[in-house]
Amino acid sequence: MSHIRKIIERSGLPSPENIVAGIIDRNIYGFYKDRLKHYGVELYEIGEALEKKRDALKKLLRENGLEDKIVIDKETVGFYIHVKPYSTPPIPIYACFILGREGIVQKIVNIIDIGRGSNVIIVKGCASIVPEGAHKAITLLRAGDHSRITNIMIHNWAPYITVSSKTYAYIGKGVEYNGYYVKVSPVKAIGLGSEYYVGENSRIEYHEATLAHRNTRVASNTRIVLRGRGSGGYITSRGVVNRGYMDVNPLIRAEAEDVKGHIECNGLILENGIYKTHPSLETTVENAYLTHEASIGKISGEQLFYLQTRGLDEEYAIRLIVLGFLTSAIKGLPDSMKKYMDNTMKYFIVKDRRFL
């Protein structure tokens, strides 16, 4: 097992010692998943789940109209995670997905079913230790009524990796959901798509911090549909483009009365990058309050000058400004996660020579 640990450490994912289970290429490795059973969490490899939990999986796909969109075949790997009602595991459910050989197309399906009244932290770390490859992932998440969920996704790719990630999330009544996405390492192209369908009196927040390096193309599409009365949806996106390309398309749609939503998109341009954003608001009802704001700018000369007067060289000052800009999007993390998220972003922005 020590060689697997070394691969995970090479991937640059934070806290490799806390990973519950992992997939390297198409091979499955379990670490602490048996420990989770004591806290009401069942974790199966997706193929094993088809054998042991077929009825539960089929029911989830059928109820959410995803039978044609989520296909599990012999090339598919991933996890089925079931959190029993009123469970509060004391450790994060942390799974990693690593590309370890060139020429691999990693096809991932994850299905996460969180029971009523549960309180969980879910972490997905996706990374590569080779320069080329492809990663295609699709996730179905169902949040039971009155549950509390923190869902974190960290991407650490390489310059010639192509990535596609799609999430379908169905949020019950009275749920508090906080989602976080961080990508601050190079990648060739990445497409992110998320759809959240939000129930009565539930609140969802989605926070995104992304850095697009030279020759990187990033497309992000986040869609929140407020279906339940009194629900709320909030999107915060920060993007830094350093000679790359980024297109951010968030949307909030109101389909019920007494709902609130807000979108905030901010782009920072370095050296001829391209940043586009199209925040959208829709409503089918009269009593909805939806707002958005967006900005695109460059590093302030006053900020740069101030840091240089404090003895910092220009490059290091730029790195610190970018770090502060991106970390401002990552709000409300639990203390157990905040430290390692901060360390990850500091490493890739302040120390990694590929940034500038």
Mean pLDDT of the region 92-110: 92
What is the per-residue pLDDT for 193? 97
Residue 162 pLDDT level (bands cut at 50, 70, 90): very high
What is the per-residue pLDDT for 355? 61
CA distance 154 to 96: 9
- pLDDT at residue 1 greater than cutoff 60: no
What is the tens place of the pLDDT at every residue in 180-207? 999 888 899 999 999 999 999 999 999 9
Residue 2 pLDDT level (bands cut at 50, 70, 90): low
What is the tens place of the pLDDT at every residue in 42-73? 999 998 998 899 898 888 988 888 888 888 88
Domain ranges of the chain: 2-351
What is the per-residue pLDDT for 295? 94
Q: Which tokens hold the place of 284?
A: 């089918």
CA distance 151 to 5: 24
Indicate the residue type of 244: G
32 Cα distance to chain centroid = 22
Mean pLDDT of the region 263-276: 92
Residue 284 pLDDT level (bands cut at 50, 70, 90): very high
159 Cα distance to chain centroid = 19
Residue 353 pLDDT level (bands cut at 50, 70, 90): low
Q: How much is the pTM?
A: 0.93
CA distance 304 to 323: 13
Instruction: Name the residue with tokens 């279906």.
Output: 227
Q: If DSSP codes are grouped into helix, strand and coil, which group holds residue 284?
A: coil
Which residues are CB-contacts of 176 (< 8 A; sequence separation ≥ 6)? Answer: 147, 148, 149, 202, 203
What is the overall mean pLDDT for the chain?
90
Contact 299, 271 (CB under 8 A): no
